Structure 1
Amino acid sequence: MSTVNSLTLEELGSAAQRERRRRILDATIALASRGGFDAVQMREVAEQAEVALGTLYRYFPSKIHLLVSALAREFERAQAVTESKPIPGETQHERVMYVLQRTTRGLQRDPNLTEALTRAFMFADASVKNEIHVVGMLLTSMLTRAMGTRPDGGEPTEEEIAIARVIGDVWLAALVGWVTGRTSAGDVTSSMDVAVRLLLREDR
């Protein structure tokens, strides 16, 4: 497959191009919700989004690029919700777990979509590094805000960012376990509770 990157919103110069990208991602998410990873076929995405197949490939060079970009948009939506009001919790652990549990529950309500997005993330290679980076940055941003260690509103430290990244990696691994049937929804929460406490150095 091509190693060209997906076009980002910043690279789309017109409102029509941004609307086209939105329709493509909407179609992708709708198809994935109905049938999971295998249901997302580039030709069907193009037809449902009402764009030419060649246009779709200019926006997203492969199915993996497309689905990882859809995962990023799901995280953008989750981020918008968490930023719309204060995150509940007296401690870092409580706030981080609130964000993780809210996001996890949202994904688990649509198992077909979650299976598609998670499989794409697992299958992604170096050609999808920019899309993976966007996903990682969104998740890190949500978690550092939940940690809330900058009372003055300043930027998180390098250590805080590193902790948030590790928490995000553990959460994604736990989500993979749920998608593949190796763990239950409760197992995901339990694993994250232990990991977050250890990484944030909070005692039981």
Structure 2
Amino acid sequence: MGDDVARPAEGRQPAAPVSRGQMARRVRILRAASELGAREGLASVQMHDVAKEAGVAIATLYRYFPSKPYLFMAVLEWHIEQYLGSHEHIAAAEGTDAAAEVAELLITLSVKLLDSPLLASAVALSSFTEYATAVPARIDLVDSALGQAILRLLGADEASETDRSRARLLIYGWWGLFVAMLTEEISTEEAETNMRLAARLLLTP
């Protein structure tokens, strides 16, 4: 069975899980894709294998995730949400250095994602694919779990457009450094130094 079987029509929006059962199926799919991606890498993972591993029909898989790149971008977002969920205390504290706190959050997240090199490669490769043409509606990065965590560290309860722009630039900078670490263009130490510098330049008044 090829990956084209039961593929949704071009441009169709992915279904949003509403019931508890639907949310549980979505998580099973994300977990299955994570495990397969970590073992085999993006090229070797087939959508029907993800469906089988998750215990769902291939049509169900495509209903939530219209393409493999879209699926693995969702895997990345899910892993970030899981990481942030285990750090629910993330918030601005009086007297703390916001730039240092944000840099540390992003550095630690990079290290966590790089614990599984094949999965990290899978999500990075997926980010370079033009999946947005098939799924045009994407949220602003600042409204993602990571963007909201950064705003909390900045103490921005009512974020201004400048706050949102800073958070957005930090995420773009972090992602570029993450990919550079993954491809070994720069060392972990260089990436950490650059991330701290970027946070300092963007967040220092």
TM-score, normalised relative to structure 2 = 0.85
Q: Summarize the alignment of residues 31-46 of structure 1 with structure 2, pairs less than 5 Å apart.
A: 31-46=36-51
Residue among 57, 72, 75 paired with 2:77: 72
Q: How far apart are the structure 2 equivalents of 1:193 and 1:19?
A: 37
**Partner residue, 1:55:** 60
- Aligned alpha-carbon RMSD (Å): 2.3
| Most deviating of 116-125 and 86-95 | 86-95
| Most deviating of 66-75 and 116-125 | 116-125
Q: How far apart are the structure 2 equivalents of 1:71 and 1:128?
A: 17
Secondary structure (helix, strand or coil) at the match of 2:62 reads helix
**How far is 1:76 from its partner?**
1.1
Q: Summarize the alignment of residues 95-134 of structure 1 with structure 2, pairs less than 5 Å apart.
A: 95-126=101-132, 127-131=134-138, 133=140
**How far is 1:73 from its partner?**
0.7
Contact 2:51–2:57 (8 Å) recurs in 1: yes
| % identical aligned pairs | 31
Instruction: Identify unmatched segments of 5+ residues in structure 2.
Output: 1-8
TM-score, normalised relative to structure 1 = 0.85
Residue among 133, 149, 153 paired with 1:142: 149
Q: Deviations over 1:66-102 (max 9, x none)?
A: 1111111112112212323556882111111121122
Contact 1:71–1:135 (8 Å) recurs in 2: no
Where is the helix percentage greater, Structure 1 or Structure 2? 1
Q: How far apart are the structure 1 equivalents of 2:103 and 2:81?
A: 18
**How far is 1:180 from its partner?**
2.3
Structure 1 pair 63/131, CA: closer, same or farther in 2 (3 Å)? farther
Secondary structure (helix, strand or coil) at the match of 1:82 reads coil
Q: Deviations over 1:100-135 (max 9, x none)?
A: 122111112111111111111122442344456468
Equivalent pairs, count = 195
